[in-house]
Amino acid sequence: MATFLFSIGLLIVGYIVYSKVVERVFGINDKEPTPAYSKSDGLDYVPMSWWKGSLIQLLNIAGLGPIFGAIMGALYGPVAFIWIVVGCIFAGAVHDYFSGMLSLRHNGAQYPTLVGMYLGKTVQVIINIISIILMVLVAAAFVAGPAQLIAEITPLSFMVAIFAIFAYFLCAALLPVNKVIGRIYPIFGGILIFMAVSIAVALLLTDRAIPNLTLDNLHPGELPIWPLLMVTISCGAISGFHSTQSPIIARTLKKQSDGRKVFYGAMIAEGIIALIWAAAGMTFFGGTDGLAGALNAGGPAGVVNEISTTLLGTLGGILAILGVIILPITTGDTAIRSSRMMLIELLSKGFNNKKGKGVVLFATMIVVIPAFYLSTIDYSFLWRYVGWTNQLVATVMLWTGAMYLLKNNKFHWICGVPAMFMTAVVCTYIFYAPEGLGMDYYISVVIGGFLTLFVIAWYIKKIRSYRG
């Protein structure tokens, strides 16, 4: 229990202290008008309060990610606490802050456009493709589970449920951000927080002992921690999907100082939620072996349902159903919305949405149609490819932040160090993972290491070139 409580305390201290360091390095000016005012269009550029933006941002970036991912990551034992805390404070929250604030600084630009500004047009083209593919995969993967549950508890069939969900997706993607997302997301964000806090309190009040971090139980499983843990627990530590979502809220901020609370703060909140569910997974089933058996029997959704109903009774059952249905849907709809925004930037180069409703609809349908098709196939197949694509996007965003700081003669290491770490994660994972090349573990580690050294050499060359 001490490790769990200490970890939560570290995340809170990380927000109080390190978020201010990051903000100071980035540099803000509240006298400059934000895009919400300078580019107001009644669709995406709409001023909203910071607290509402924070709850929307939390729901956009979280969904079931910090719940399902943390439960899966709990199989690695208490070492998951270390990754969530360190990853969240020094990588994930920095990643989210820079993706949001760079977007704000560049008139609400989307993630691929930011990449092009600081890493070049070639990388931008590649990232445009990868980002849109990631959005389609996320939207599709986060439809099948809710649709299946809806079919089980209502008279609706699976396909009718999918049609209903995608009808909602279209509304959320096409209507002004303050009409649907701005009104209902703060409520759902509150539900997500209430659900996590309730589980945490129930855990602390039961006689189940939350495992502490010791040398004996650092990693009880057989799977290698490196780099699998860093991909398994992405939401709650660092997730590239967040960089595609942050521009949605960047277009609504009233002032630049709101960015620390909205972007860095929402990521810390997600980290706390991930810690709670990782602790619940390790504790409730009596260890990692029991958790593994529960996951094999009912999957992450079954584990969430069993923990919630046992610890919280009827309330827990209701929260579990709401979580498994609502949270993934609210991630899928913003995935569609952000990909629509990316496509408009890509196809129309700054097209004015007020005069282009047909273009907005066309860009939305380009994403909705393949997402709809993919939602009808195996969920687990889709999710395998979301993992490494997600962390690749995160790595590129960190390098984008590092190049921004380097070009502006600022302390670039706050992005550069986590970027190097995530480069090593992605390079090793692609060679080792089954959805990658499926190579021998030690060979994958060596190749990943060499590729990382190559990228570091590029980074050092950039540093020297800017120093003259």
Neighbours of 384 (CB within 10 A): 17
pTM attached to this predicted model: 0.88
What is the band of 59 on the pLDDT scale with cuts at 50, 70, 90? confident
421 domain residue, yes or no: no
456 domain residue, yes or no: no
What is the band of 354 on the pLDDT scale with cuts at 50, 70, 90? very low
Displacement of CA 123 from its chain's centroid (Å): 21
In this predicted structure, the answer to whether residue 317 has a pLDDT above a threshold of 60 is: yes
Locate all alpha helices (DSSP H) within 158-264, ordered by sequence: 158-174, 181-205, 225-232, 241-250, 258-259
Calpha distance 187→55 (Å, rounded)? 8
Burial class (CB in 10 A: 0-12, 13-18, 19+), 196: buried
Candidates 362, 355, 358, 360; CA nearest to 41 is 355
Place of tokens 């100071």: 24
226 domain residue, yes or no: yes
Give me 356's structure tokens: 């282009």
Domain that holds residue 142: 2-380
Contact yes or no for 366/342 (Cβ under 8 A): no
Least confident of 36-50, 254-268, 445-459: 36-50
What is the band of 357 on the pLDDT scale with cuts at 50, 70, 90? low
Q: Give the residue with greater pLDDT, 23 vs 438.
A: 23
What is the average per-residue pLDDT within 222-237?
Answer: 88
Contact yes or no for 468/249 (Cβ under 8 A): no
401 domain residue, yes or no: no
What is the band of 288 on the pLDDT scale with cuts at 50, 70, 90? confident
Q: Give the residue with greater pLDDT, 145 vs 318.
A: 318
Give me 190's structure tokens: 């509150």
464 domain residue, yes or no: no
What is the band of 462 on the pLDDT scale with cuts at 50, 70, 90? very high
Burial class (CB in 10 A: 0-12, 13-18, 19+), 56: buried
422 domain residue, yes or no: no
User: Could you tell me what percent of the chain has a pLDDT over 70?
Assistant: 93
336 domain residue, yes or no: yes
Locate all alpha helices (DSSP H) within 175-208, ordered by sequence: 181-205
What is the band of 217 on the pLDDT scale with cuts at 50, 70, 90? low
Give me 418's structure tokens: 């986590």
Q: Which CATH number is 227's domain given?
A: 1.20.1740.10
60 domain residue, yes or no: yes
Burial class (CB in 10 A: 0-12, 13-18, 19+), 152: exposed
Domain total in the chain: 1
Place of tokens 């956009």: 60
pLDDT of residue 319: 74
What is the band of 264 on the pLDDT scale with cuts at 50, 70, 90? very high
Candidates 374, 351, 381; CA nearest to 363 is 351
